[in-house]
Amino acid sequence: GKGLAVFTSGGDSQGMNAAVRAVVRMGVYLGCKVYFIHEGYQGMVDGGPHIEEAQWSSVSSIIHKGGTVIGSARCMDFKERAGRLKACKNLVDCGISNLVCIGGDGSLTGANLFREEWSSLLDELLQKGEIDKEKHGKNQKLHIVGLVGSIDNDFCGTDMTIGTDSALHRIIEAIDAISSTAYSHRRTFILEVMGRHCGYLAVVTALASEATMVFIPEKPDRVDWADRLCEKLIQERNAGQRLSIIIVAEGAVDMEGKPITAEMVKEIVVTNLQQDTRVTVLGHVQRGGNPSAFDRILGSRMGAEAVMALMEADENTDACVISLVGNQAVRLPLMECVKRTKAVAQAMAEKRWDEAVEMRGKS
Ligand code: ATP
């Protein structure tokens, strides 16, 4: 059977375990020799016990767990050719020529670079006498498939990334908990949620929690947001509402691109309206806890589809990313999606917000 390995890289997200489980089980089912690579690219570079053969039973009882049970890491070594050469040798030694990379755009960029370099890495190892001809022949090509694990839903080409739905559940739970105390004390609560470049979590949360206003990295639509916020808060209280919720994304900015923070918003509310106002920063709670049913199924579907894509790959197949488009798992060209995602980040940095939103095609 074919040698296949799965690893998780970059920031963790809920549902990654479901994806790992599906990759292992689909791989075993189709007769592959399946490996875990622990600790992302670091484990690939270090080899040894980090690359471990997986069995059907190795992935029992992980679908409900948050994070990633095989570990994730950021790895400087893999950014250098010398590190990738070591990784190549470790994979060749195990007969691995198929990779499922679960991570964000950085991890997928690394995987694609590795794939492009593969034959030159093999040549170098062969010249140095570190691998033999027989294995070299068998590993002429490296096939890779990417799955996007990220709570931010900031990746172009997929409707949902693995982990976003669970993060939304976590945020909504927190807001519901805060709402009862806010209601009792007639407070205004300002909640900071994750999303440095993407307001998806903030916008969806705001809609689902009847928030008064939401601030996102894609800039506010008017200059007079502070006045409008105060007006709206007064209106709500006059209508008998006992609590108000304001959502601020981590990377929220104003029309000039200057940060809008939860503390700034609080200052405005307190100074102008003297309302009892509290700030809550949710932080890593959003990444924690068990994955939602949606993320378990999403991870499972994508993991299974990734293995199918690898099994069908031939000499001419390009790297793909498994995406969710209109509730269908589809294969899209990996580098095109990564490039578009990077172009969106660039456009945001250059304050071309409308263009960024258009390019992203979501939020
Ligand atoms: P997230 O941003 O959601 O945490 P990510 O996958 O984008 O996920 P990064 O920290 O950008 O996270 O990348 C994870 C790892 O992927 C890096 O530590 C590095 O080992 C590898 N990597 C990223 N970019 C490259 C690159 N251009 N070349 C080689 N390896 C890379």
Query: Is residue 84 marked as binding?
Result: no
Instruction: Give yes or no: 152 in active site.
Output: yes
CA of 294 to the centre of ligand 1 (A): 26
Among residues 12, 46, 152, 154, which one is catalytic?
Answer: 152
Q: How many helices (H) and strands (E) does the chain have?
A: 12, 11
Q: Whose CA is nearest to atom 18 of ligand 1?
A: 74
Distance (Å, rounded) from C-alpha 116 to C-alpha 82? 15
> For 63, which DSSP code?
T
Atom number of ligand 1 nearest to Cα 103: 6
Query: Is residue 173 marked as binding?
Result: no
Rg (CA), the chain: 23
Query: Is residue 11 marked as binding?
Result: yes
Q: Which of 68, 248, 249 is nearest to 152 (CA)?
A: 249
The per-residue pLDDT for 363 is: 43
ipTM (interface pTM):
0.97
**Mean pLDDT for the stretch of residues 335-342:** 94
pLDDT per residue as tens digits for the range 16-34: 999 999 999 999 999 999 9
pLDDT per residue as tens digits for the range 34-62: 999 999 999 999 999 999 999 999 999 99
Atom number of ligand 1 nearest to Cα 74: 18
**Mean pLDDT for the stretch of residues 69-74:** 96
Any ligand 1 atom below 6 A from CB of 185:
no
pLDDT per residue as tens digits for the range 178-234: 998 888 888 999 999 998 899 999 999 999 999 999 999 998 888 999 999 999 999
CA of 135 to the centre of ligand 1 (A): 28
CA of 148 to the centre of ligand 1 (A): 12
Any ligand 1 atom below 6 A from CB of 104:
yes
